[in-house]
Amino acid sequence: MIRRLAVASVSLAVVLGCGTLPAVAADSRPTAAASAAPDVDVTKVKAHLNELSAIASRNGGNRRSTGQGYRDSVAYVKGKLQAAGYTVTEQPCTSGCTSGAGPNLIAEWPQGDANQVTMFGAHLDGVSAGPGMNDNGSGSAALLENALTLAQQNPAMTGRVRFAWWTDEEQGLNGSDFYVRSLSSTERAKIKAYYNFDMVASVNGGYFINHITSAAAAPMKAYWDSLGLQPEENTEGAGRSDDYSFEQYGIPTSGYAMGASARKTSAQAAKWGGTAGSAYDPCYHRSCDTLTNINTTGLDRASDGIAHTVWQRAVRSETGGCDTAGVVGNGGFESGTAPWTGDTGAIGAHSGQSAHTGTRYAWLAGYGSTRTESIGQQVTVPAGCSRATLTYWLRIDTDETGSTAYDRFTVKADGSTLATLSNADASGGYVQRSVDLTAYAGRTVTVTFTGSEDASLQTSFVLDDVSLQGS
Ligand code: DTR
Ligand code: ZN
Ligand code: ZN
């Protein structure tokens, strides 16, 4: 019989939203079950950079989107990809781009489930001032050598991998925006995550990851964690590169970056080396962004982390394992809110309810007024599972009486409803319940829990200890 005021929950959400949260370790997905990714040869990545540098030299010293330096860059990347067996598409940017800008270049590895696409992208254009080796020959070359390595290894795939080299990023993220905008909603929904690589070889750089605590970032972070790099959130680059175009359509994004014109702090210099008080890239958008403006160690670490992520997301595990440990991140809600997204103000140790285990839980609905609250996260069900069950503990308490369903709780996977409960199912204490995710083995699926109330008489859906069980 607990009533919760909407006002109280708003203030709770504010308190939880900032400052008070502990630093959250991202869910660390098991890496053991997937076959190991190959090493990406940084000398080959640098050979691509040399070619991009020569292209700039032949074309007035730059690779800006509207110039021949850009078109020649496209031709170089395209030629390498075609020789490796890719079908490559040049997509002219017919709206929103600078007049005269060259095309996007898209290459898909034609194996794995075409409905489960992971995209990896980098902008291939540069500014007018110089050859654009760190910005963004680095991301372009790292991505190209990854595409060639995938083709050369030719592993058995579960999901699809699609690579993109974007035009006209420097004038406003225009090529990537055109691409995402031009997709049908059906095609857009097949893209389960987008990873961006913009400036991954800054000479005084740091190790930055976009949306570092998100489920999408987990394989990127796990790789850099394994090298002891202590990566941080890419705050400088937020909203400033092509991942933003995908973010605007609700597609999960992540990526690596080593930083631009912002300055390295003394704490960062202490853990990463380099010069405190100086820019991560002292040649950002300048004529000196040449081959000498490249951090080979950083470029190598980014290139290998991309391969790790490609393998984690889309390559069939050799062992056929069904290791479900850690697949649901922060399933007990004990460590902040990530990787849960949605109405994360519902997560916490609120007064009026208590946890199944630990101290925190997610309290969905319970306002006694018309209201819907949802939380969700991406879950990758291991391909080797012949059965997979998502279990959760749910306490339903209600002021409703009788057996009519007024207030509802649903569990969905990629939008399809797997379970519906209501006030009529209230029984006082926590009850363990489950939904079958066997159909999603080998796939990444967004699991969503929703509490929804009608205009009067509260029903609280209190969720805790969500986990995946497999066999
Ligand atoms: N899109 C980048 C802009 C940028 C600014 N700061 C950062 C930090 C990390 C990556 C990218 C950026 C550009 O092309 O200029
Ligand atoms: Zn850039
Ligand atoms: Zn730039």
Q: Which ligand is nearest to the CA of 257?
A: 1
Does the pLDDT at position 12 exceed 80?
no
- Predicted confidence at residue 36, as pLDDT, reads 87
What DSSP character marks residue 424?
A: G
In the chain, domain spans: 32-314, 341-470
Q: Which of 240, 253, 258 to mutate to test the pocket of ligand 1 (most atoms within 8 A of CB)?
A: 240
Report d(CA 379, CA 327) in Å as an integer: 6
Helix residue ranges per DSSP H, 227-295: 243-247, 266-272
CA of 307 to the centre of ligand 3 (A): 24
For residue 242, which atom of ligand 1 is closest to its CA? 1
> Which residue would you say has higher pLDDT here, 194 or 8?
194
Better-predicted residue by pLDDT, 166 or 14: 166
141 lines ligand 1 (CB under 6 A): no
Residues 370-423 pLDDT 10s: 999 999 999 989 888 878 999 999 999 999 999 999 999 999 999 999 999 999
Residues 221-265: pLDDT tens digits?
Answer: 999 999 999 999 999 999 999 999 999 999 999 999 999 999 999
Mean pLDDT computed over 180-199: 98
- Say which residue the tokens 């902008």 belong to: 123
Q: Which residue has a Cα nearest atom 12 of ligand 1?
A: 237
Atom 10 (ligand 1) nearest CA: 237
Cα Rg for the chain, rounded, in angstroms?
A: 24
What fold, for 32-314? Aminopeptidase (3.40.630)
β-pairing verdict for 416-422 and 371-380: unpaired
Q: Kindly state if the Cβ of 125 falls inside 6 Å of ligand 1.
A: no
The per-residue pLDDT for 13 is 35
Q: Is the CB of 373 under 6 A from ligand 1?
A: no
Q: pLDDT tens digits, residue range 119-138? A: 999 999 999 999 999 999 99
Is the distance from the beta carbon of residue 234 to the nearest atom of ligand 1 less than 6 Å? Answer: yes
Mean per-residue pLDDT, 310-330 = 85
Dig out the tokens for 290 from the structure: 């040449």
Averaged pLDDT, 163-167: 99
Token pair, residue 306, equals 């991309």
Cα 199 to ligand 1 centroid, rounded to whole Å: 7
- The yes-or-no verdict on residue 14 having pLDDT over 50 is no
Among protein residues, the one with the nearest Cα to ligand 1's atom 6 is 237
* Residue 259 beta carbon below 6 angstroms from any ligand 1 atom: yes
C-alpha of residue 165 to centroid of ligand 3, in Å: 14
Question: Looking at 169, 373, 400, 453, which residue is catalytic?
Answer: 169
Q: Which residues neighbour 453 within 8 Å (Cβ) at sequence distance 6 or greater?
A: 365, 366, 367, 368, 369, 370, 371, 372, 406, 407, 459
Question: Which residue among 128, 203, 236 is best mutated to probe the pocket of ligand 1, counting the most ligand atoms within 8 A of its Cβ?
Answer: 236
Q: Is 237 close to ligand 1, i.e. is its CB under 6 Å away?
A: yes
CA neighbor of 279 nearest in space, from 236, 322, 331:
236
- Ligand closest to Cα of 137 equals 2
Whose Cα sits closest to atom 1 in ligand 1?
241
Establish whether residue 205 lines the binding site of ligand 1, counting it when its CB lies within 6 angstroms of any ligand atom. Answer: no
Place of tokens 């080396």: 273
| Inter-residue contact 283 to 130 (CB < 8 Å) | yes
77-90 mean pLDDT: 97
Cβ–ligand 1 contact at 135 (below 6 Å): yes
Strand 159-166 and strand 113-123: the pairing is: parallel
What separation in Å is there between the alpha carbon of 226 and the centre of ligand 3?
29
Ligand 2 centre to CA of 43 (Å) is 22
Report CA 65 to chain centroid distance, whole Å. Answer: 27
Query: Domain spanning 341-470 has what CATH number?
Result: 2.60.120.260
At 463 the pLDDT is 98
Centre of ligand 3 from the C-alpha of residue 264, in Å: 18
User: How far away, in angstroms, is 257 Cα from ligand 3 center?
Assistant: 12
Q: Looking at residues 61-73, what average pLDDT do you find?
A: 98
Regarding the beta carbon of 169 and ligand 1, being less than 6 Å apart is answered: yes
Catalytic annotation present for 169: yes
pLDDT classification of 323: cutoffs 50, 70, 90: confident
Residues 6+ apart with CB under 8 A from 464: 332, 333, 355, 356, 357, 358, 360, 361, 362, 392, 393, 395, 430
The atom number, within ligand 1, closest to the CA of 284 reads 15
